[in-house]
Structure 1
């Protein structure tokens, strides 16, 4: 699964790179202003969608960058108070093999699919407790070996309080997950579903359902460029956020040396 990730993507620069419309609240500036090394559920995250222009619906759809709450809120979610949805299970992940038939996600699978850009994501290997101590969580960071940006398949939703038709809609998203493949199985049995560039047109098409094969577990070669490495336990707390979360870890100690040998 994917419950934490890192991103340094600047929306303004990404919009230029992808020839996309930047619909985020801010754009341009120093890329460091957009860096988040410990993205957690309920955070506003950057997504890529493809939509028609509201004023010119017959025009071809264009790529658009939007900020969304990480944790999908289904359109049928009830209202807790004016303009606020009832709190429910944080749907920050969706199983790719079941999303098309799951009530919370099936409508989004048809026509509201997105990409979630990231530098890499975190997973943990849990070491059993010694004696009466607590289990130790060893964090690992999965990223492109050459430092390239990753794009993960996602779904998104638009929630509105129907009693407040003029209120701003609440956009939210979830990241699709699939069975881990290749060397990534040594870290966790699940992983985010990567979406290669050659499949973007079909995946993001707002007018047609995505081909079923795009929701299938990818072949090992699809993630062969992704490597895993141990990172500091600072990432275990969402209160910590900075480039130091990705710094090299001292390989001394039998327990850490054993974990490194998995790679």
Structure 2
């Protein structure tokens, strides 16, 4: 699964790098080293211009709520959806048939850019002791930005047609592969740049193979490093969360060797 990640880019820089339309605008963006569900996050979509629907679809950088809100969600008050469990992850192998996600699989797919993501390695405690949890940060060895497959939704309050639409997204997950299986059995689904055109195509369904578990080569350049348990609390948010630590300092119970 992917319940926390880090992103330090801003929408303007991201749009420039991708030759995309920046739909976020000139708002202050602070690097987020501890992104949690319900946070507003950056996404990349490919859409036609509303005023020129026949023109070629372009990449667009948008901000969305992390935690997809299905189209049929009722409103708690005008323009505000009923609170529920945030759908921040969707299983790639089941999304096409899951009511909350199947419409998005067909029509609204996105990329979620990130510096890397966190997972917790769990080892049983000795005897009656509590299980030990060591957070790890997974990132590209060369420091390059990662792009994960996502789905998105546009929620509108049908009873309040003048209210602003709410954009939300979820990150697709798949079985972990390669060395990452030592830390967790799930991982976010990486989307290589070679597949972006097919994945983001707003006019055609995505090829089924893009939702399949990738081979180990897809994460061959991903490295996992143990980091401070400070990341356990969303109140902590700074570059120190990414600093490597020595797990043996916590009792030597955690090891990937």
CA distance in 2, matches of 1:203, 1:9: 22
Query: Matched residue of 1:14: which SS?
Result: helix
1:169-198 deviations in Å (ceiling 9; x for gaps):
000000000000000000000000000000
Q: Does 1:61 align with 2:57?
A: yes
CA distance in 1, matches of 2:251, 2:180: 19
Deviation at 1:260, TM superposition (A): 3.8
Conserved 8 A contact 1:229-1:260: no
Equivalent of 1:128, from 124, 149, 161? 124
CA distance in 1, matches of 2:250, 2:80: 50
Q: Mind listing any 5+ residue stretches in structure 2 that lack a counterpart?
A: none
Q: How does 1:149-188 map to 2 (within 5 A)?
A: 149-188=145-184
The match for 2:81 is 85
Conserved 8 A contact 2:123-2:254: no
Q: Does 1:142 align with 2:165?
A: no
Equivalent of 1:223, from 214, 219, 225? 219
The match for 2:44 is 48
The match for 1:189 is 185
Conserved 8 A contact 1:72-1:172: yes
Deviation at 1:221, TM superposition (A): 0.6
Q: How does 1:209-220 map to 2 (within 5 A)?
A: 209-220=205-216
Deviation at 1:132, TM superposition (A): 5.4
Conserved 8 A contact 1:230-1:260: no
Deviation at 1:134, TM superposition (A): 3.7
CA distance in 1, matches of 2:217, 2:135: 24
- Count of aligned pairs: 257
Higher alpha-carbon deviation: 128-137 or 201-210: 128-137
Conserved 8 A contact 2:134-2:247: no
Deviation at 1:110, TM superposition (A): 0.3
Q: Does 1:261 align with 2:256?
A: yes
Q: Does 1:11 align with 2:11?
A: yes
The match for 2:35 is 39
Deviation at 1:13, TM superposition (A): 0.9
CA distance in 1, matches of 2:232, 2:51: 45
CA distance in 1, matches of 2:248, 2:132: 16
